[in-house]
Structure 1
């Protein structure tokens, strides 16, 4: 990446405005020149995270695994709906967060990696791309489609056995029978949902309610809202009842980490499932290094 233009100037000249604010501009509308170079770099980071930002990626997920269609899909944490709402207070880290800080946290928790530096090319590129998608959005207004749609409470308490049945019959075709995703050689086609190459315990998807809302609205891919509310809760409960990388905020005491960061009904961190305590260092997988990277 050879661009060094100030972000506000870049966004001001990033291309034509979208006719419909809820419909971000197509990739073919990315402008030429240094503005377009920055935007395309951001798009590459969103869709090929470990390849485009290898020094910061610690697992086999891509940003686009949650921000579907490269951050375009309403109800799947679209980037165009979030960008104009920053800076914003975030309870997770008890501070005002810039958009760049929010992306840093995605790298730390969902990508289980290292935070790209504030003001560096990776975060500027992602900001340029998100800002370009957000053309036509009102600043400081949370538009319909932001985040994940709400989900009703489950009719019955979520259940691992029912969740495993949903996973086996519906999810395993894309995510593998062992939840480790599908590969084409070294290329991850569909993401792992647990284990060493998945998101860690600090990620939003490790909260059952957030995972259930995402699954209900968007899964199976291309067939959202086909699972029942109960099925979405059950399979989210099952997925988040599996081992995964440690919460980076863990300082040696499992109970203290739960009390400070996971003290809510929909976190299974530090609870016992199938005879093992989730988050226990003895059973938590070691840090994963993506193929071809020295992390």
Structure 2
């Protein structure tokens, strides 16, 4: 399988030399575990290789539709262009959904285009594709989603559906590489082990204080905690989700070099740091945790005592001007 990756923006010469030197030293010190190929598909799994933008040019689609899909791709890999309007942290869609949203075990987004509308346990109602994208803006990008039916939302949805080209709709089956799957660890995840592993393997790109890396004011590696990171309602605050993402994808360019246990340990360390408030916050962290415990917070530490502090016990929204975007609302057909 081959996948397209969007190159990172060019660093200044000095920054590039510093980063290269630090990375080289880090790689020299680390004992890599090979092979680093992704798991083979299991019998019966549905395997899909998403089309590329090069294939779009010869697809026979209407030129205007091609332009919309390309716009969706541009927004997907550079969501920071919506900073201050729809995005209020240092994340892009491709920060979690890597390889332009195409890469297996890195949150490939094409599946959403063929299984939605569907019931979503997180918000306990039927979601369509635009609402699922809105959820990523609301939680992962600590943002305010584009309006449903807006140019940007249509473009992002069109890009998702382009990636799903050829996949049957509502084929509710076992999709290869659909998320961030990971086994349970042998030992209980350790904050202390996770801190040591983070400092040795992650801080080079994401900083000692979790604030990420910026060059000339532009985010190059996202913050993993703090005001510029995902909020307490993001899916990746669940330990198994972050652990799976780390195991399959991190450090960048060296997938599967973190063992299952190490991935869980790092996830425990990162996700026990503070970040902007869950947009569903009622004003009381214990009440909010209880309201969404079974459907979401049971898999994370929001609203619990960790390292001598009550996580999420604050009104901090990061850079976002409002707590709860209007689209975060219940829906029922009863």
Report the TM-score, using the length of structure 2 for normalisation: 0.76
Counterpart check, 1:88 vs 2:121: no
Partner of 1:288: 319
Candidates 204, 208, 226, aligned match of 2:257: 226
Alignment partners' CA distance in 1, 2:240 and 2:263 = 9
1:130 alignment counterpart: 160
Deviation larger for 46-55 or 212-221: 46-55
Q: Any idea what the Cα deviations from partners look like across 1:57-97, whole Å, max 9, x if unmatched? A: 11110010000011010111112233111111101111111
Match of 2:198 among 167, 172, 176: 167
Q: 1:219 to 1:265 in 2, by over 3 A?
A: same
Q: Which residue of 1 aligns with 2:211?
A: 180
Task: Output the CA distance in 2 between the equivalents of 1:86 and 1:244.
Answer: 30
Corresponding residue for 1:56? 86
- Mapped pair 1:65 → 2:98: no
What is the distance in 1 between the residues matched to 2:320 and 2:213?
A: 17
1:147 to 163, 176, 179: 179
TM-score by length of structure 1 reads: 0.86
Alignment of 1:3-18 (within 5 A): none
How many correspondences in the alignment?
268
Greater mean deviation of Cα atoms: 202-211 or 32-41: 32-41
Summarize the Cα distance change of 1:82–1:145 in structure 2 as closer, same or farther, 3 Å threshold.
farther
User: Residue in 1 aligned with 2:302?
Assistant: 269
Quote the residue 1:79 is aligned against: 109
Quote the Cα distance in structure 2 between the aligned partners of 1:194 and 1:56: 19
Confirm whether residue 209 of structure 1 aligns to residue 235 of structure 2: no
Unmatched runs of 5 consecutive residues or more in structure 1: 1-19, 291-295
| Cα deviation, residue 286, structure 1 | 4.1
Q: Distance in 2 between matches of 1:29 and 1:113?
A: 32
1:252 pairs with 2:278: no
Say what the alpha-carbon RMSD is for the aligned residues: 1.9
Task: Choose the corresponding residue for 2:269, options 235, 238, 243.
Answer: 238
Picking from 138, 150, 174, the partner of 1:120 is 150
Greater CA drift, 45-54 or 81-90: 45-54
